Structure 1
Amino acid sequence: MGKVDDYTSGRAAGMLLARDIVKKDGLEELEKEIHFRNITGINTILSKKELDKACEKIKVRTLDTMLTIAVATLHDEFGFGQARCKRFIDRLNLKADCLVDDMASWDDYVKLIKDEIGIEMTIRDND
């Protein structure tokens, strides 16, 4: 009986979410939500907007933590001082902005690194 209860509960939560989306943003936004879920396979009680907001926090924190460890490595292992670390931070932020603004893609950067310095980079899928 647990699976039926879980299904019924999930269906009811989905109906409430759909109602709230239509009330707040209209039927067109609900259609976008359905399209997004069909493409991504994401089934959650969060709407796409809420999910995007939560993901944004994760992305920003990930970038901050990776930048911190990169700067620590550049300083500790390669003797970069304040000026070169600052230049690195500024350039990394510029490249990140290019990704966010769709002026470059991860594939562009992977190809550039391979072509210009011969290092094979991969970005793992989260399958």
Structure 2
Amino acid sequence: MSKQDYIMQGRNEGIAFCDKIAKEKGLEELQRVTRQRNLAGLRTLIDPRELDQDFRDATLQILDTVLIMSLIVLKDEFDFGTKRLDRFKKRFNDKTECLETGNVTWIDMIEQVREENNIKLDLRKNDVVMAWRKK
């Protein structure tokens, strides 16, 4: 398929997607989905109903990569063995579950580290995602 054909196919799929939303849920819903996609920077055909699951999946994948990096650092820099690495992994997963269930927030954890260890941490903000979540 040529580049022009690929572009045309994407446009046709986009029009069909918009038509479906407008017919099923009305023009207001189509406008809401358009605003949501623009704020989140979405350029692909993602069903809005699947968007929350996609964000959750991405968050869990990021946490998995942080866990892997943490285990490597603890092993290489601090000579953690299998038992200590496994203990860390279990505790990390417990804290992750607390975040998922809403029992604790990132701000709670940042404040705890600052109060107990006098270490300043910042949570970087993605303005596009944060703006989308405010809508």
Q: Same fold (TM over 0.5)?
A: yes
How many Å separate the matches in 1 of 2:71 and 2:59?
18
The corresponding residue for 1:80 is: 80
- Residue type matched to 1:82 in 2? T
Match of 1:64 in 2: 64
Percent identity over the alignment is 28
Which aligned runs of 4 or more in structure 1 are off by greater than 4 angstroms? Answer: none
Q: Deviations over 1:20-62 (max 9, x none)?
A: 8x4xxxx6xx96x949x56x93466423322223223322221
Q: 1:118 offset after TM fit, Å? A: 0.6
1:41 and 2:39 correspond: yes
Q: Which letter does structure 2 place at the counterpart of 1:116?
A: E
State the match for 2:3 in structure 1: none
Q: How many residues align?
A: 112
Structure 1 residues 85 and 48 mapped into 2: Cα distance closer, same or farther (>3 Å)? Answer: same
- The alignment status of 1:123 with 2:123, answered yes or no, reads yes
Match for residue 90 of structure 2? Answer: 90
Unaligned runs of 5+ in 2: 1-10, 128-135
Q: Is the 8 A contact 1:74 1:80 kept in 2?
A: yes
Residue 106, structure 1, aligned to residue 109, structure 2: no
Unaligned runs of 5+ in 1: 1-8
Q: Which has the higher contact order (CA 8 A, sep 6+)?
A: 2
Question: Amino acid of the residue matched to residue 15 of structure 1?
Answer: C
C-alpha RMSD over aligned residues: 3.2
